[in-house]
Chains A and B, each alone.
Chain A
Amino acid sequence: MSDFSPLIDELVAGFESAVLEDSHGQAVVRLQRDDWVDFAKAAKDAGFEVCVDVTAVDWMRQRPERFEVVANLLSMQHKLRLRMITTVGRQEPTVGSLVPIWPGADFAEREAYDMFGIVFEGHPDLTRILMPDDWEGHPLRKDFGVGAVPVQFKASHQVD
């Protein structure tokens, strides 16, 4: 049992692979990729009516699975927050889309696709959102350079 809320405990208990963590006093649930959408549905039914944000983290070679997909949920009625995290590999960075559950995840998932190249299956319109359509690469991946141009009179640090 955690000290967050019985609601979250009950929610997490329904999924065998889900692991509840305490991250600096915040509830974080780590999920298998296959449980991602099912858990989201259960969370919505449990009262998390807002999906605040979907984003990703690129761990490059530091972790066995390269990308973490992070979704922040909010329950206004219970005044609770819950963070869902799952991992996807570099070969097939694919995870189910949350848009059918929360339409508000639309832009956020498009941004994660644009910036990290994570494919959200079931997203109605998964296209680039911030970068131009003919842009190559996904800028927030760690192997995408910052793209700094050399500046005259400045040799303080080199950005690679």
Chain B
Amino acid sequence: MTDEKTKTPETIDIWVAGTEEPQFSPTDEGAQEIGLDESESRLDEQFGRVVSDDYVFDEDATDDERMIVNMGPQHPSTHGVLRLQIELEGEIIRRTKPIIGYLHTGMEKTAEVLTFGQGTTNVTRMDYLSPLHEELAYSLAVERLLDVEVPERASAIRVLMTELNRVASHLVALATNGMDVGALSMMVYGFRERESILSFFEKTTGLRMNHNYIRPGGVAADLPPGWKDDVAGLLETLPVKFEQYDDLLKENPVWTSRTRGVGIITAEEATAYGITGPALRASGVDWDIRKAMPYSGIDRYEFDVPLGENGDVYDRYRVRVLEMYESLKIVEQVMDSMPKGDYRIDDRKVTPPPRARIDESMEALIHHFKLFTEGFKVPAGETYVAVESPRGELGCYLVSDGNARPYRMHMRGPSFANLQGLPIAMADSLMADTIATIASMDPVMGDVDR
């Protein structure tokens, strides 16, 4: 028996007879997997890699009841490709280790070969549920390095679009949270209302997602004719629907019993682990970058920061719902006070000339051509700009060495840091609450892995 144990266990690839044998080796994350605090030899038997007939009970084994369950990366409730290794003692979760990187796209490397103007195309694909926030953080960082101020109208359009994006993102968070906990109708409703916001986005930016609308120097295009009616329509219909969600979930005994007191993160834990956004505010910490370090003139508009008390799944859900109302409040004020003027800065070295000018002016044509071939140069320097994305602090650390391409672009993804809270939230809780906890953190894997 001892000889068999020391042998390296053979792995067997799974493939269906008749198909070609796969070329690669099976997934091997090695040291990224959860550490085993029990003797390896015992686990070999538990995994069935070593079969012995004369099984002797090991007296020294302390965690005989412990079992490691692998969840994901291909799992319907992990919001993408999150993988968790969970150590269970019976039904109780003792330890959790998130394993990420299954969506690593190398965007920070790609950013180094794109010009500053092209960069927004890249960053918008990181957090695909709040693309406009990604673009905003990146554009603000570039503008800070360039030391330019965008016109008031551009700032107001940015606030309008990002706040609508926040509502759309929270709707998906609610929808998936509902779906994971079993309230399937919430999933249908959430996506239905999101669709009405997306159709406005499509009208304005030309795309439903990954807009590339907010760019260094302003926004890509002015708001379309009749935008006020569209936004007014949204402001009229959405709050009615939000009330319907409250009817469905707020007092629903099934919903509350599955979410109250589940996945608790205290304020101390949240700050220690760098958790931001609704997950932090649900723990009662009054921190919102829009209030504390305002950007794009968002401090001009009145809104409240909803807070939770207990830091459980229910509070995170409530904070999101209340934040949607607050965002609509901001949208309404922006709509009423939209300043007139240009929607991008009048600096031909940063933004392209208007289309009409290109036809009549040679200079404009040259500027246009140069901007889109070699891009604009940004003075050397480094900066970090953070905005409040639907998931928390979204920061862009940008380093320029004086060329037309970033020397280094790093995005601080809120989901990346928030995922560190999962093991705390799930420790010593029931296995059945795993899904509710994951969903309430609202991780977007594109934001985590980048």
Touch between chains A and B, by CB atoms below 8 Å:
yes
A residues adjacent to B (C-beta < 8 A): 23-26, 28, 49-53, 55, 57-58, 62, 70, 72, 74, 76, 79, 81, 83, 102-108, 111, 115, 125, 127-134, 139-140, 146-147, 159
Which of these, B287, B395, B401, B420, contacts A104 with CB under 8 Å? B420
Other-chain residue from A74, A107, A140 in contact with B109 (beta carbon distance below 8 A): A140
Residues of B near A102 (CB, < 8 A) are: 272, 274
* Smallest Cβ-Cβ distance to B27: which chain A residue: A132
B399 x A24 contact (CB < 8 A):
no
Q: A18: shortest Cβ distance to chain B, in Å?
A: 17
In the complex, A115→B32 CA distance in Å?
A: 15
Chain B residues whose CB sits within 8 angstroms of the CB of A25 once the complex forms: 144
Contact call A146/B100, Cβ cutoff below 8 A: no
Whole-angstrom distance between the Cβ of B267 and the nearest chain A Cβ:
10
**B275 adjacent to A104 (CB under 8 Å):** yes
Q: Is the CB of B273 within 8 A of A129?
A: no
Picked from B27, B395, B419, the residue with its CB within 8 Å of the CB of A107 is: B419
Please list 9 pairs of residues, one from A and one from B, whose beta carbons are closer than 8 Å in the complex, sorted by A's number. Answer: A28-B382, A51-B274, A53-B274, A53-B397, A57-B407, A70-B382, A104-B274, A108-B416, A129-B32
Q: Is B271 a contact partner of A62 (Cβ separation < 8 A)? A: no
Contact flag A131-B420 (CB < 8 Å), given A24-B381, A53-B412: no
B104 CB within 8 Å of chain A: yes
Interface of B is mostly: mixed
Alpha-carbon distance A53/B397, docked complex (angstroms):
10
Q: How far is the CA of A153 from the CA of B53 in the complex (A)?
A: 62
B408 on interface, CB distance cutoff 8 Å? yes
Hey, which chain B residues are within 8 Å of A139, CB to CB? 106, 109
Q: Give the CA-CA distance A84 to B148 in the complex, in Å.
A: 25
Beyond A55-B397, A72-B395, A128-B32, whether A104 also contacts B273 by CB under 8 A is: yes
A residues near B31, Cβ cutoff 8 Å: 127-128, 133
Would A57 and B381 count as touching, CB distance under 8 A? Answer: no
- Rounded to whole Å, the gap between the CB of B405 and the closest CB of chain A is 11
The answer to whether A130 and B449 touch (CB under 8 A), given A24-B144, A72-B395, A146-B109, is yes
Q: Is B199 an interface residue (CB 8 A)?
A: no
Is B28 an interface residue, CB under 8 A from the partner?
yes
B395 adjacent to A106 (CB under 8 Å): no
In angstroms, Cα B100 to Cα A127, docked, is: 12
- B401 and A76 within 8 A (CB): no
B397: which A residues are within 8 A, CB to CB? Answer: 53, 55, 70, 72
Contact at A134–B28, with CB atoms within 8 Å? yes
- Verify if B410 is at the interface (C-beta below 8 Å from A): yes
Residues of A within 8 A of B384 (CB): 26, 53, 72, 81, 83
Distance (whole angstroms) from the CB of B272 to the closest CB of chain A: 5
B110 contacts partner chain A, Cβ-Cβ < 8 Å: yes
With contacts A23-B382, A79-B293 taken as known, whether A140 is within 8 angstroms of B271 at the C-beta atoms is: no
Partner pick for B401 among A62, A115, A132, CB 8 A cutoff: A62
> Does B147 reach chain A (CB closer than 8 Å)?
yes
The verdict on B12 contacting chain A, using a C-beta distance below 8 Å, is no
